[in-house]
Amino acid sequence: MQKAKLTLKTETNHTTAIQISDFITVGGQDLWIVGGPCAVESREQMETVANRLAIAPVQGIRGGVYKPRTSPYDFQGMGQEGLEILADVRDRYGLPVVTEVMAISQIEAIAAKADVLQVGSRNMQNFDLLKALGETTKPILLKRGLAATIEEFVMAAEYIMAHGNPNVILCERGIRSFDTYTRNVLDLGAVVALKQITHLPVIVDPSHAAGKRELVPSLAKAAIAAGADGLIMECHPIPEKSVSDARQALSLDDMVELVRSLKAIATAVNRSIPAGVATVPRLSFV
């Protein structure tokens, strides 16, 4: 890690908390828990999710509107229409929005509507995209590449920071292995290492790591116990009907139960889960 200048700790206690919204930070005492579907599919879907999760409580909502799909024939995301839905849900529920940016041409429109810009695993080393995101001020959620080493991951964060944006959140989301039982292998060793060597917040995505919903709650708990600063997890009002990543989506009931069950683990490792938004509006479509 010789060449990294901006990502590494300068002293043992060096940590950076990143402001996500007026009241929400990641990397400090509070955990940052984000839930939501893999893809934005409709206004009703996103409002149903926000309505349940706001009181879980989560501190962010996710949903892809530009989706990196293995097949070009699969649903590619709602695009701009999905961004409008995300922005409305954010305004109504006070939940910061996390969504993926796949191309430089999408940055301006996404930055106008979302609070956190996600760089997906498949783009972790899209250096032109990283440089362009370095020129924005929005927090960037940088997901580890499918087969990226810890050093490559850190250097990708270094690209964003070297181009002017200090607000980088690292996300361990599982790496490829020989075993197909789980979709990927959740590398908690990387979480511990990244927390030791970098000052950046490190969160975990147990959904893409596991690929199976029944594995998600225990991996989420293990991640918090290992020192992760937060979680990003997929859920859906009707999980099996998800247009993408259906097998790993939690039901909303299971997601709420999981967030509540994290409290004891958070307390054990001297972290807290901040309270949710004070009021939850009526669903707009009923």
Closer to Mn ion at the Cβ: 38 or 188? 38
Query: 259: which 2 tokens?
Result: 């967030």
Query: 40: which 2 tokens?
Result: 């934005």
- Per-residue contact string for residues 170-189; x = within reach of ligand PEP by CB under 6 A: ---x----------------
Is residue 210 involved in binding Mn ion (CB under 5 A)?
no
Is residue 38 involved in binding Mn ion (CB under 5 A)?
yes
Is residue 245 involved in binding Mn ion (CB under 5 A)?
yes
Give how far Cα 240 sits from Cα of 42, 69, 70, 152, 243, Å: 16, 18, 19, 35, 9
Is residue 143 involved in binding ligand PEP (CB under 6 A)?
yes
CB of 66 to ligand PEP, least distance (A): 10
Say whether 180 sits in a helix, a strand or coil: coil
Strand residue runs (E) in 162-250? 168-172, 202-204, 230-234
| Partner whose binding site includes residue 143, from Mn ion, ligand PEP, none (CB under 5 to 8 Å by kind) | ligand PEP
Is residue 68 involved in binding ligand PEP (CB under 6 A)?
yes
Give how far Cα 230 sits from Cα of 27, 137, 192, Å: 8, 21, 13
| Partner whose binding site includes residue 45, from ligand PEP, Mn ion, none (CB under 5 to 8 Å by kind) | none
| Partner whose binding site includes residue 69, from Mn ion, ligand PEP, none (CB under 5 to 8 Å by kind) | none
Nearest to 179 by CA among 215, 153, 143, 203: 215
Interacting residues toward ligand PEP by CB under 6 A: 38, 64, 68, 120-122, 143, 173, 205, 208
